[in-house]
Structure 1
Amino acid sequence: MFLSTFEGANAPFNWDTDIKAVLAASGLPVYFVPMFNQWQAPAPNAYPFVDGLFRWTNPSLGFANDIQVDADYAALRAATGKTWMAGVAPWFFTHYNSKNWGNPEDDQIFFDKWERLLELKPDFIELVTWNDHGESSYLGPVEGVIEDQTWARLPHDALLDLSSYYHTAFKTGSKPAITEEKAYYFYRTHSLNAKATNDPLGLPEEMKMQKDHIFVITMLASAATVVIKSGSKTYDPISVPAGVHKIGVPFQQGTQTVTVRRGSTQVMTGTCATPISDNIQLYNGNIVVDMMTVKGGQVVVPDTTASPTTSTAPDTTAPTRPSTTSKTPITSDSCPNQDRYERKNCRKGDKQSCEAANCCWSPLEEGSGEPWCYLKPAVVTPGCPYQDRYERKNCYKGDKQSCEAANCCWSPLEEGSGDPWCYIKP
């Protein structure tokens, strides 16, 4: 059993004799990698009974200090021979009476942290989500957000997609070749100068270290230029190299549009449904994240500026997305009512947008945390093995007929997926 903790160094029991030994005696030997120190690496002999040490990312330190503590843990691993598990988090903002905290690391907390950890090469990495929605550190779909978590209704799904690139880089030891070009962009929904009309808590003091920027992360097979239109301001094209690269420019109020070009050719473009506005009642230090792909086009997310409701049922205001005519739809016969625990989330909030995305719609009980909209069971070209989406090598054919004519495998995913529907036979 792999066992970890959040804090617990001063627990009123003995981790070695009361936990590890008891579990081992019952047939569950433990590999113990606790988080006992956030702020600095412990002395080499501090915890002789652990197998390794976990260090959660701590944005309150500021990025330079945060990554220095990671480097200290890397050195501790070399000195003690124990393993080291590092932490990566997508964001941090929480807005309660009891805790009103922000994230001074801004854009560095996720992208820059991943890049640095690839250099330090920890033994394990955990995607840290603190208290999930309430602290803005979620990566997957926003489900189960309670009424007073108004700041936690902004989508972060695209960061989970970006993580898959770094997962591969970490596990293999080298950054993977980019076979599907993508771009990700994120921003806060109001500036640091905004004045909320009905918020006694105020914006956290440490957030003043952040920048009023829109950030773009490009994942490209070759160099290109990025054009950012923020509100009424269109910035001059910014050159970006091949690979994964981050840029940022000051944002303006209004709609945010990002376009990637090569010469006069538009490679991809996206406009997020959530604008920036300083006309606010409550402060929100969270970010909205969107992405776009060459094949799937813009990934549409719902407008999150609408007033929240108390219902925990799926959002029925999500915009629909028409299916792409070049992709052969799966017949309704391939849409069984799957067991809730086998469903893979298609991330659509109502029946119309779910079925338009070529997914299955089957409601569960009110408030269920399992998907109402889920991916159809795999349909694969005869003679082809089904491959996980992240292992597929793109065959670059846009429909079933041309895919199979090229002697490749055809297995559709959800509409708008950036991963190949047509892939080279293993």
Structure 2
Amino acid sequence: MTPEQWESDITEAQKAHIDGFALNVGPQDSYTDDVVHKAFAAAEKLGNFSLFLSFDYGTGGPWPVDRVINMVNQYKCSSAHFYYHGKPLVSTFEGTQSVDDWPRIKDATGCVFIPTWTSLGPSGITNTFHVVDGAFSWDAWPVGADDKDTTSDEAWVKALAGRPYMMPVSPWFYTNLPQRQKNWLWRGDDLWHYRWQQIMEMQPAFVQIISWNDYGETHYIGPIYEPGIPEGAAHYVSNHSHDAWRELLPHYIDVYKTRNGTNATTTHRMAGTNAYSPKYPVSYEEKISYWYRTNPSTSGSSSGTTGNNPAMGQKELNPGQVSQDRVFVTVLVTAPSGVQVQIGDHAPTVLRACTAGINHFSIPFNGQTGPVKMAIMRDGHEIVTTTGPAITDQCVDGKVNWNAVVGSSNGTHTA
């Protein structure tokens, strides 16, 4: 990425009320050094945006201790580095084989250490309390055909016994990278909406969004840069912008922060009720946010994709059991409203947004194909409308694309 692209991404993240990026760094080479330098330079230039390093031990193997110490010390004095309780925050992706390296690293850098050692589980993390100051869980997706609940989050919070918990949130997961032996999906569906409601209710110390730009696993919410798409992923990533997943983030994040009572939270790369109303004065645009797959699950080849990841010991399911043939719609309204969703020329489905604020729905394909028209209705008038891409059983190369198309539309109203 160029400095201009870094500045653009940071600006877009700020618009979404994201406080900072966790920089997943690895492997250890001059390219990494160049990228990190550009990121910090852009954040320093723009201001009001934080960065911290998350050392990836899963991609390039264990990091040499001196290399970690030097990188942390190099950037911890940057005006853009994120500090927690007066200390620079540092994280990892896995690296449990290097637990004993961290007392030396912490002593040499003065950092607060909140790693992603999800493989240890809540019970295992207790054995590392001589090292960790908190924990980030990578357990952001449900397993199988169930929706994500907070059972694992509650277990982490209990195990951490008052230490800060960094809670994950992610909108989607589908990867098909045979060269990396990755070809599975986990349920996204309603996850983006309901997970934020869980965050509001649990009030963790931190929230990290997975991810800003991991195109190969399709949970990106940032702009797509074609050179960043991994080899083999272009066929399911190209022309599948996820930018609109950021549309409602200011409202989710602001409610979380308001209830939390602090703005000292960091988000990446920062099942509940059907609706909520913000508990603070708001001025916003009424809008529709939507996402869905354009190919019904039985319309073509599954390309060998499995529901769940058998390599992790999960039961293999048909991907169509996990990723539902439904249109997912979230609306932000200033007053109770009707919501219409119409697929092709079929009769519209009429729903009710009962509460001012955010309301979420999903509608089954029911064998219908064609463009998806959505509208917020009030007093017999269309307040906001948008039309999404056509649902079609004509799959490119005969293969179902399990990635989501994401879009939105808005109109200006003030509450």
What is the correspondence of 1:22-421 to structure 2 with a 5 Å cutoff?
A: 22=108, 24=109, 29-37=110-118, 40-43=121-124, 45-48=126-129, 49-61=131-143, 66-77=149-160, 80-97=161-178, 98-104=181-187, 106-129=188-211, 132-144=214-226, 145=229, 148-149=232-233, 150-153=235-238, 154-173=240-259, 175=278, 176=280, 177=282, 179-196=284-301, 200-202=303-305, 204=307, 205=317, 207=319, 208-241=321-354, 242-251=356-365, 252-272=368-388, 274-280=389-395, 281=397, 282-295=399-412
Deviations along 1:22-57, whole A, 9 cap, x unmatched? Answer: 3x2xxxx11100111258423573211111111123
**Counterpart residue identity of residue 37, structure 1:** T
Aligned residue in 2 for 1:8: 95
- 1:38, 1:163 → 2: CA distance? 29
Per residue, is there more helix in 1 or in 2? 2
Q: Secondary structure at the match of 2:406?
A: strand
- 1:206, 1:46 → 2: CA distance? 38
Mark the structure with the bigger radius of gyration.
1
- Contact 1:118-1:169 within 8 A present in 2 as well: yes
Structure with larger RCO (C-alpha < 8 A, sep 6+)? 2
Deviations along 1:229-264, whole A, 9 cap, x unmatched? Answer: 112222242111222111111122211110111021
TM-score normalised by structure 1 residue count: 0.62
- 1:131, 1:262 → 2: CA distance? 37
**Counterpart residue identity of residue 7, structure 1:** E
- 2:191, 2:225 → 1: CA distance? 23
**Counterpart residue identity of residue 374, structure 2:** V
**Counterpart residue identity of residue 335, structure 2:** S
Aligned residue in 2 for 1:384: none
Q: Secondary structure at the match of 1:165?
A: helix
Change (3 A) 1:117 1:147: same
Q: Secondary structure at the match of 1:17?
A: helix
Q: Secondary structure at the match of 1:294?
A: strand
TM-score normalised by structure 2 residue count: 0.64
- 2:330, 2:283 → 1: CA distance? 14
Paired-residue identity, %:
26
- Contact 1:214-1:248 within 8 A present in 2 as well: yes
Paired residues in the alignment total: 286
Q: CA RMSD in A?
A: 2.4
After TM superposition, give the deviation of residue 16 of structure 1 in Å: 2.4
- 1:232, 1:41 → 2: CA distance? 51
